[in-house]
A and B are shown apart, each in its own frame.
Chain A
Amino acid sequence: MISWALLLLIGFVAISLPIAAALGLMGYVLSEKFAFFPMIGALGELAWNSSNDFILIAAPMFIMMGELMHRSGMSERLFTALTPWFARIPGGLIHTNIAASAIFAATSGSSVATAATIGTVAIPNMDKGGYNRPLFLGSIAAGGTLGILIPPSINMIIYAVLTDTSVADLYAAGFIPGFMLAGLFSLMVLGLTIWRPHWGGHKQDTTNLWARRKAGLRHLVPPLGLFLVVVGSIYAGIATPTEAAALGLMATVALVAFNGQLTLPVLLRAFEGTVRTTCMVMLIVIAAFFLNFVMVSIGLVQAITSGVLSLGLSPLAMLAAIIVFYLVLGCFMETLSMMIATTPVIVPVIKALGYSPVWWGIIFVILMEAALITPPVGLNLYVVQAVRGGGRFYDICLGSLPFVLMMITMIVILIAFPQLALWLPTVLNPKLG
């Protein structure tokens, strides 16, 4: 049964069927072959139930927030405002790339948007400033991935729905690892540019540094304000994560309108982008729910879990094997589909090994970040390449490598100190403690 499922999946994906179609057809074939009664009849009910799930409503609202912010020039102003703060540090603008990505990430849940916007602003300065190209480009590609680890995060919402975990707990758990990972990125850049000073570019203009720093501060207010609305309101007890997303979207619309940029074309293009991403994801989610329903009913999930457990590996070795599996799979698969397709199978194994699903959620998101910047299929690499418009693609892959190492380091740290992820949720939500 397991080998059947595996063969089907590999076959469908290899001939490049759309992921949603591959999962749906796989569910159909498995149910025809192994179930006692045809299960396709449940498709309508499953589709309806996942179509009006209250937790999932947050996803399109976050996507629309990102679309609007991205088109309103907020990130450009953020980038310019941050630049003078890193003028004296070796690596200069590379740190700006990382910091701007981290802050932008704290208001958006999309990594493509983050990398594309920061890339458009930053890349013209790369050769002007004499930076090492791979490192500079790598920082943009990798910085963009922080979008899904630092709350809010679309990926965490979908993970929460698939595994029945609390979104608020996942957000809280992602907070410290997210900013720590940004710190690790910067630390690594600092180390490399001290070791090879010419990688860090020319000396920057340091006149009037404080005046420029102060002048830029007001551009930090909108993103930080949005962060407070979207994340603060949850832990202040005013709103649930879904309601917080609604407040955030309204606040974003107000901000864009305040800047006089809320025009009909901006709004309609944002609608298009939102609907395209939402429906694409939802089709995969519906197909995955159907497949999961079939797999549980025919006993496939239990078979996999007990099969894996009967290998007799220690939990840590098992965990390591799963992580390596995802690092490899992430090279070839788009991240969101990888997450939706594998979560229903892997998370029961993780729970059976005695790990917390919230903690694993964070590790999982970091693995997806790595998948976004590992060639050949790493969406952020292509985004940066396309924004750059020419030059060697190899540069970006090479430059992303040290950042992938930092992600693996972060995972090791989280395995050694699970409290980094699990402490904040227990503080903010005493029920857990």
Chain B
Amino acid sequence: MQDGHLPEKLLPDEPLPQRVSRILAWVAGAIILFGCSGLITIDVITRYFFKRGMVESFEISGYALAACIGLGMAFTVTSKSNIRVDILLDALPDRARVACDIVASVSLSVIAVALAWYSFGTLQQSWAMGAKSVSMLQTPMVLPQGIWWAGLFWFACMAVLIPIQAISRLLGGNRAGFDALIGSLRVVEEIEQAGVPASSDGKQS
């Protein structure tokens, strides 16, 4: 299948923050595969044969999902995956479009900062109360919440950084670079992300 193509680069050339977000997304994916699917499968199989689960997957997989969400969230910003209804945008003059792109990007950073701020409150409270899960494991809640929060904090950093990066590119006259950072996702890009090589002529009429 792959013959005739150059071996695909695992890490595309991109600025460091983007690269870190991508690697965190890999970690988040691995967590889903091993932390959720793997553990749950072990439990289902041992429960089927020995009438009891082995690894408390019910609880741990919940933490795994939270870790995945936290660590992966920044990647939605750097890969422009947050859905926008941009139907009116196409009708606007170029300047207004740029303004809308910036406003949209800033609004996301507001949400991201709020999320990181208030989830820190949750973490802090668990810490202060020494909260433990009500289960066999008695997990100290600061463990899973700490990983989750660290991810959300990175998400907030990225969400703040991206509009700054984009505006500085715009001021530097790099319009294509601006679009690559915060313009809304074009369908061709969306198909490429889905893993199907889109032809160069994927125009929408």
Contacts from A to B (Cβ < 8 Å): 13-22, 24-25, 28, 40-41, 43-45, 47-48, 51-54, 56-57, 60-61, 64, 67, 70-71, 73, 112-113, 116-117, 119-120, 233, 238-239, 242-243, 245-247, 249-250, 253, 261, 264-265, 268-280, 282-284, 286-287, 332-334, 336-337, 376-377, 379, 382-383, 385-387, 389-390, 392-394
Contact = CB atoms under 8 A, between A and B. Distances in A.
Given A16-B184, A61-B37, A54 B62 contact: yes
Q: 7 shortest A-B CB distances, which residue pairs?
A: A271-B29, A389-B199, A52-B62, A44-B122, A246-B40, A275-B72, A44-B118
Contacts of B199: 386, 389-390
Most buried by A among B58, B85, B110: B85
Contacts of A117: 196
24 contacts: A15-B88, A19-B82, A20-B83, A21-B107, A25-B107, A45-B122, A52-B66, A52-B144, A60-B65, A67-B195, A70-B195, A238-B44, A250-B37, A265-B10, A276-B25, A277-B81, A278-B69, A279-B75, A282-B69, A282-B73, A283-B76, A284-B83, A382-B187, A383-B191
A56 B61 CA distance: 11
Nearest to B35: A57
Contacts, number: 258
B163 interface: no
Contacts of B196: 116-117, 119-120, 387
A276 B65 contact: no
A112 B44 contact: no
B202 A385 contact: yes
A393 B152 CA distance: 40
Contacts of B108: 17-18, 20-21
Contacts of B10: 264-265, 268
Given A18-B84, A61-B36, A385-B204, 4 more contacts: A14-B88, A51-B70, A284-B83, A389-B198
Contacts of B119: 43-44, 47-48
B137 interface: no
Interface residues of B, number: 79
Contacts of B121: 41, 44
B203 interface: yes
Given A54-B62, A268-B26, A274-B32, A239 B118 contact: no
Contacts of B194: 70, 112-113, 116, 273, 383
A20 B111 contact: yes
A139 to B, nearest CB: 18
B33 interface: yes
Contacts of B201: 389-390
A45 B87 CA distance: 34
Nearest to A263: B2
A114 B161 CA distance: 35
Contact of A57 (B62, B73, B193): B62
B103 to A, nearest CB: 6
B170 interface: no
Nearest to A45: B122
A392 B204 CA distance: 8
A247 B44 contact: yes
A332 B85 contact: yes
A51 B148 CA distance: 9
Given A16-B100, A64-B29, A279-B76, A239 B83 contact: no
B120 interface: yes
Contact of A279 (B33, B44, B73, B86): B73
A60 B184 CA distance: 24
Interface in B99-155: 100, 103-104, 107-108, 110-111, 114-115, 118-123, 144-145, 148, 152
A382 B10 CA distance: 27
A376 B69 contact: no
Contacts of A15: 88, 100, 103-104
Contact of B85 (A19, A28, A54, A268): A19
